[in-house]
């Protein structure tokens, strides 16, 4: 029975006293934590800076084909050069350029002069050009089958005409137009009629030039290269054996070049054209009316009234319709031995040759449903 007057005695349990941490230890722990955070921040900043610098040193546009002309004046500081390169959209960052120059100790190595630089190159590569100075070179490539302007180049990504190639090398419209309108002294032009332009003469090849070369210098080099190949292969004599002078040989080779790119096919195409000329037939080459239509800026029409349209006018075109490559020139010099009178490029990319119109019509039906319907 519970007696409220009795006091129940219970054992007491001693409570553990709190562990006291010295203030010095607490302070050291806080300092260590702050120090660790600072180290982490510094490491993060260093890594971030390294990544940023690598990106900024890389090419501005790896796919760029345009060369940009830059003139570095004597006495220019590194900062001024860096700003000029950034303003010309050649490098990503003037700051990164300055850092790279300072880090590599190249401050006093940059040379004054005129350069043609590419946004497709890294800052390291561009600095290499600037160190080379006035002896720096650039390359330029012209293509067989190309025209002076943008004929045959409906696809903007495939513009290989002479004018566009020169623009990519950072020459102005005025420089290009002036150079293309001049008269040049070369045996290459020995049979070229007065007043005709340079269509067909800017020889397809890759050339290297010192920075500062003019458009006239470039064109003259292509003419010299062209005539060197003509002499090396005795083409003037070979053309004469077929009743053609040099100008006519180049003209026929330009048509062959536009019709076929394979060397063996070019020889067969040249044979067809010779056979047609000998028999009094029209050349009937579609690429001739396409050329003049594109040049005039009118719709392609095989009935176009122009002496360049060999579907309507007999003989060769008044002049070349493109620059021929060496294989096309050799095909005109030494055509295949056969008696074909017709050919077509099939939808499968294969050239089909025939002797009669009936065979030709059959080849169209079997191999050229798309291409032959869109000419």
Chain segment 299-333, per-residue pLDDT in tens = 999 999 999 999 999 999 999 999 999 999 999 99
Task: Please report whether residue 262 resides in a domain.
Answer: yes
More confident residue, 138 or 243: 243
Mean pLDDT is lowest, of 40-49, 70-79, 189-198, 226-235, for 40-49
Residue 369's pLDDT is: 81
Average confidence (pLDDT) over 27-50: 75
Same domain, 205 and 304: yes
Tokens coding 167:
């623009």
Contact call for residues 323 and 237 (beta carbons, < 8 A): no
Is the pLDDT score of 21 beyond 80? Answer: no
Residue 66's pLDDT is: 81
Same domain, 168 and 211: yes
Is the pLDDT score of 268 beyond 60? Answer: yes
Task: Please report whether residue 192 resides in a domain.
Answer: yes
Structural domain span for residue 240 = 156-340
Residue 17's pLDDT is: 52
Same domain, 196 and 331: yes
Task: Please report whether residue 63 resides in a domain.
Answer: yes
Task: Please report whether residue 31 resides in a domain.
Answer: no
Grouping H, G, I as helix, E, B as strand and the rest as coil, residue 365 is helix
Alpha-carbon span 169 to 174, nearest angstrom: 14
Task: Please report whether residue 3 resides in a domain.
Answer: no
Q: Using alpha carbons only, how large is the chain's radius of gyration in Å?
A: 37
* Cα dihedral value 309, 310, 315, 320, nearest 10: 60
Three-point CA angle 294, 169, 163, nearest 5°: 15
The helix (run of H) or strand (run of E) holding residue 264 is helix 263-279
Residue 45 pLDDT class (50, 70, 90 cuts): confident
Tokens coding 66:
């345009």
Residue 51's pLDDT is: 85
Mean pLDDT estimate for the chain: 87
Same domain, 288 and 335: yes
- How many alpha carbons lie under 13 Å from residue 366 in its C-beta half-sphere? 11
- Contacts with 269 (C-beta within 8 Å, 6 or more apart), sequence order: 256, 259, 260, 331, 343, 351
Tokens coding 94:
């003037």
Dihedral sign for Cα atoms in the order 34, 38, 41, 47: negative
Grouping H, G, I as helix, E, B as strand and the rest as coil, residue 113 is strand
Alpha-carbon span 368 to 375, nearest angstrom: 11
Residue 366 pLDDT class (50, 70, 90 cuts): confident
Task: Please report whether residue 181 resides in a domain.
Answer: yes
The number of angstroms, rounded, from the C-alpha of 42 to the middle of its chain's C-alpha atoms is 44
Same domain, 195 and 298: yes
Is the pLDDT score of 256 beyond 70? Answer: yes
Give how many domains the chain has, as a whole number.
Answer: 2
Percent of the chain with pLDDT over 90: 62
Residue 159 pLDDT class (50, 70, 90 cuts): confident
Average confidence (pLDDT) over 160-189: 94
Average confidence (pLDDT) over 189-206: 96
- Contacts with 281 (C-beta within 8 Å, 6 or more apart), sequence order: 275, 341
Residue 1 pLDDT class (50, 70, 90 cuts): very low
Is the pLDDT score of 10 beyond 70? Answer: no
Q: Which CATH number goes with the domain that contains 84?
A: 3.30.1490.480
Grouping H, G, I as helix, E, B as strand and the rest as coil, residue 335 is coil
Same domain, 266 and 306: yes
Same domain, 118 and 196: no
- Contacts with 163 (C-beta within 8 Å, 6 or more apart), sequence order: 148, 149, 150, 176, 180
Same domain, 162 and 265: yes
Mean pLDDT is lowest, of 2-6, 41-45, 71-75, 81-85, for 2-6
Same domain, 199 and 300: yes
Same domain, 296 and 165: yes
Task: Please report whether residue 184 resides in a domain.
Answer: yes
Tokens coding 317:
């075109």
Q: Given the structure tokens 């056979």, which residue do they identify? A: 275
Beta bridge partners of 210: 137
Same domain, 236 and 269: yes
Task: Please report whether residue 37 resides in a domain.
Answer: no
- Contacts with 366 (C-beta within 8 Å, 6 or more apart), sequence order: none
Same domain, 119 and 168: no
Is the pLDDT score of 115 beyond 80? Answer: yes
- Contacts with 220 (C-beta within 8 Å, 6 or more apart), sequence order: 184, 186
Residue 119's pLDDT is: 93
């Amino acid at each position: 029975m519970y007696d409220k007057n009795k006091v129940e005695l219970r054992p007491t349990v001693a409570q553990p006293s709190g562990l006291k941490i010295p203030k010095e230890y607490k302070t050291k722990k806080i300092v260590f934590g702050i120090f660790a955070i600072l180290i982490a921040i510094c490491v993060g900043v260093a890594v971030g800076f390294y990544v940023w610098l690598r990106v900024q040193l890389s090419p501005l546009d790896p796919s760029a084909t345009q060369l940009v002309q830059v003139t570095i004046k004597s006495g220019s500081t590194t900062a001024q050069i860096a700003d000029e390169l950034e303003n010309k959209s050649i490098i990503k960052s003037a700051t990164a350029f300055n850092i790279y120059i300072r880090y590599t100790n190249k401050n006093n190595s940059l040379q004054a002069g005129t350069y043609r630089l590419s946004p497709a190159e890294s800052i390291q590569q561009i600095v290499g050009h600037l160190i080379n100075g006035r002896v720096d070179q650039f390359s330029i490539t012209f293509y067989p089958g190309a025209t002076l302007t943008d004929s045959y180049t409906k696809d903007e990504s495939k513009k290989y005409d002479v004018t566009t190639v020169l623009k990519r090398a950072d020459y102005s419209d005025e420089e290009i137009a002036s150079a293309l309108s001049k008269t040049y002294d070369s045996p290459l032009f020995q049979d070229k009629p007065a007043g005709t332009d340079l269509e067909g003469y800017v020889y397809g090849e890759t050339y290297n030039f010192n920075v500062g070369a003019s458009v006239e210098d470039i064109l003259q080099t292509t003419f010299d290269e062209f005539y060197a190949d003509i002499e090396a292969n005795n083409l003037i004599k070979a053309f004469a054996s077929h009743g053609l002078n040099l100008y006519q040989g180049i003209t026929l080779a330009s048509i062959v070049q536009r019709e076929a790119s394979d060397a063996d096919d070019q020889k067969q195409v040249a044979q067809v054209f010779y056979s047609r000329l000998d028999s009094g037939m029209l050349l009937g080459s579609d690429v001739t009316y396409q050329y003049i239509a594109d040049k005039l800026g009118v719709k392609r029409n095989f009935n176009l009234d122009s002496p360049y349209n060999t579907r309507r006018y007999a003989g060769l075109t008044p002049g070349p319709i493109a620059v021929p490559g060496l294989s096309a020139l050799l095909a005109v010099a030494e055509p295949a031995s056969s008696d074909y009178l017709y050919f077509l490029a099939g939808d499968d990319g294969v050239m089909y040759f025939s002797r009669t119109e009936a065979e030709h019509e059959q080849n169209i039906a079997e191999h050229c449903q798309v291409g032959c319907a869109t000419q």
